[in-house]
Amino acid sequence: MDRMIVAVFDTESSAFEGMRALRQLDEEGTISIYATAIIAKDDAGKFSVKQAADQGPLGTAVGLLTGSLVGLFAGPVGFAIALGAGALGGVVYDLAKMGIDEGFLNEVGKALPPGGVAVVAEAWEEWITPVDTTVEALGGIVFRRARGEVIDAQLERDAATLNSELASLKAEAANAAQQTRAKLEAKAETVKGKLRETQARIKQQLDSAKQESEAKVKALEAKQAKAHAERKAKIQARAAEVQAEYKKRSALLLQAWQITLQALAV
C-alpha cells in the first residue's frame, strides 16, 4: 500500500540514521521509497526544512506534506507561504487529495519535541512492521496515512451535481416569462462558470495522476533492473499496482470530464 510516513526522532543524528535505515529497507526490497525529506523543530518550537524533497512528480506529495507541517505551526499565513500557495483553502484541498487532514499534522507536530527531527516519506509498504521495528529501534515513533485520492470521486460528484442543476435551470427558463427567464439564464451562466472551473480541476488531476504514475513506474523499473530474481518479482508487482491505480483513477476522472463536456455543449 502506498503510504505517507513521518518518523519522529529526538535528535538530528538519530533522524539521519533513521533515513539511512529506511533506505536500507528500500535496497532490500522490503519497501519502495518514492521520495523523502527531513524537517526539524528548534527549541523555540519553530519548524524548518533540513532536507527538501526532490522536485518533480515523485516529490510532490512529500513536498506538500513537509510544507504543511512547517507552515501549520506558523499560522494560516505561514501555512500558505510554506507551500507556495495563494490561499489556505487551496492547501487544504491539496492535502485532502492525499487523504491527509489537519488532525494528522497536529498529531505529528505535538509528537515532535523541541530539538526533534522528523523524516517524511512516501513509500509502498506491504506490512507496517519492518518500518515500525526499524524506527523504534532507533528511538523513533512512526505516523502514517494511506495515500488516498478522495478528490477524484468528489470531482465526479461535483460535475454530476452541476450538470443536474444546469439542466433544471434551462428547463425552468424554457417555460418562464421573459423577465424571469433572464434571471434564470443568468444563474445558468454562473453554473456554467462553475462547470468550467471543475473541468479545469479535472484536467489538472488527470495530468498530475499521469505524471506521477509514470514517474513511479520508471523509478520502480530502475530498481528492478538492479535487483535479484525474487526482488524483481516484488517490484514488478508494485509497478503493476501503480498502473492499475492510475487506470482506475483516470477512468473516474474521464467520466467526470465527459459530464462537463456534455453539460457545456448544450
**Using one digit for the tens of pLDDT, what is the confidence trace for 14-42?**
999 999 999 999 888 888 899 999 988 88
Residues in the chain: 266
Report the greatest alpha carbon distance in the chain: 75
171 C-beta neighbours (distance < 10 Å), count = 11
Four-CA torsion 164, 168, 173, 179, nearest 10 degrees: -90
Other residues' Cβ atoms within 10 Å of the Cβ of residue 145: 16
**What grid cell was written down for 215?**
514517474
Nearest alpha-carbon partner for 14 in 122, 141, 121, 104: 141
- pLDDT above 70 for 126: yes
Quick one: pLDDT band at residue 82, thresholds 50, 70, 90?
A: very low
Torsion, CA 53, CA 34, CA 241, CA 144, rounded to 10? -70
pLDDT-derived band of residue 188, with 50, 70 and 90 as boundaries? very high
- Residue-wise pLDDT for 132-159, tens only, equals 999 999 999 999 888 766 678 888 889 9
Report the pLDDT value the prediction gives residue 56, as an integer from 0 to 100. 78
Grid cell digits, residue 203: 484536467
Residue-level pLDDT at 73: 56
Can you give the pLDDT at residue 65?
Answer: 82
Q: At residue 210, does pLDDT exceed 50?
A: yes
